Amino acid sequence: MAETAHKHPSYMAIFWYLAILTVIELAVIYLPLPKFTIGVLLCALALGKAALVAMYFMHLRFETRTLGWIAITPLAIATLLVFVLLPDGFAVLKTTEDAKKPAAAAPAKH
């Protein structure tokens, strides 16, 4: 039967890892570090937590590789999307900043 096919990990251990990582996340935002470093730390902690949930609670670690590939695809797509959207975002930012400047300094170039 499926339930005996793979060994279950200690779910309580995963729970404690997740709880501790959440506490670390809450502490990180108050650390006297540059905003960029805090951002990188938070992203790493979030990905770590997500990986724990996917690997152990969703049993991905004990599944076939096909399911792993299916699971990793959205992450790649979302990461690419950020880069696809950024140029549009910066264009909007530039327009907003141009609009804030005095009318004389903003010739009608668009």
Residue numbers at the binding site for other proteins (CB under 8 A): 1-5, 8, 11-12, 14-15, 18-19, 22, 25-26, 28-29, 38-39, 42-43, 45-46, 49-50, 53-54, 57-59, 64, 66-67, 70-71, 73-75, 77-79, 81-82, 85-86, 88-90, 92-93, 96-97
Which of 6-28 are b and which e, b meaning 16 or more Cβ less than 10 Å from the residue's Cβ? eeeeeeeebeeebeeeeeeeeeb
**Spatial distance between the Cα atoms of 58 and 52, rounded to a whole number of angstroms:** 9
Least Cβ distance, residue 5 to other proteins (angstroms) = 7
**Spatial distance between the Cα atoms of 17 and 55, rounded to a whole number of angstroms:** 13
Least Cβ distance, residue 99 to other proteins (angstroms) = 11
Least Cβ distance, residue 109 to other proteins (angstroms) = 20
Whether the CA torsion 77, 78, 81, 83 is positive or negative: it is: negative
Least Cβ distance, residue 41 to other proteins (angstroms) = 10
